Amino acid sequence: MGVFTGRTALVTGASRGIGRGIAERLGRDGARVAVHYGRNEAAAKETVAAIEEAGGSAFTIGVELGRPGDAEALWEEFDRHADGLDILVNNAGIGTSAPFGEIDEEEYDRVFAVNVKAPHFITQQGASRLRDGGRVVNISSGLARNAVMPEKMAYAMTKAALDVFTRDLSKVLGPRGITVNTVAPGIVDTDVNADWLRAGDEARAGAAAISALGRVGTPGDVADVVAFLASEAGRWVTGSWVDATGGSLK
Q: Which of 67, 2, 70, 64 is nearest to 33 (CA)?
A: 2
Q: Which of 16, 68, 21 is nearest to 38 (CA)?
A: 16
Catalytic residue among 37, 75, 112, 155: 155
Residue 155 is a catalytic residue = yes
Write down the pLDDT at residue 93: 93
Residues 6+ apart with CB under 8 A from 42: none
CATH of domain 8-188+222-244: 3.40.50.720
Tens-digit pLDDT profile for residues 37-53: 999 999 999 999 999 99
Lowest mean pLDDT among 7-11, 131-135, 153-157, 160-164: 153-157
Write down the pLDDT at residue 36: 98
Write down the pLDDT at residue 142: 81
**The pLDDT of residue 229 is above 80:** yes
Tens-digit pLDDT profile for residues 183-220: 999 888 766 555 555 655 666 666 666 777 778 789 99
**The pLDDT of residue 58 is above 70:** yes
Phi and psi torsions of 66, nearest 5°: 90, 10
Sign of CA dihedral 99, 15, 227, 33: positive
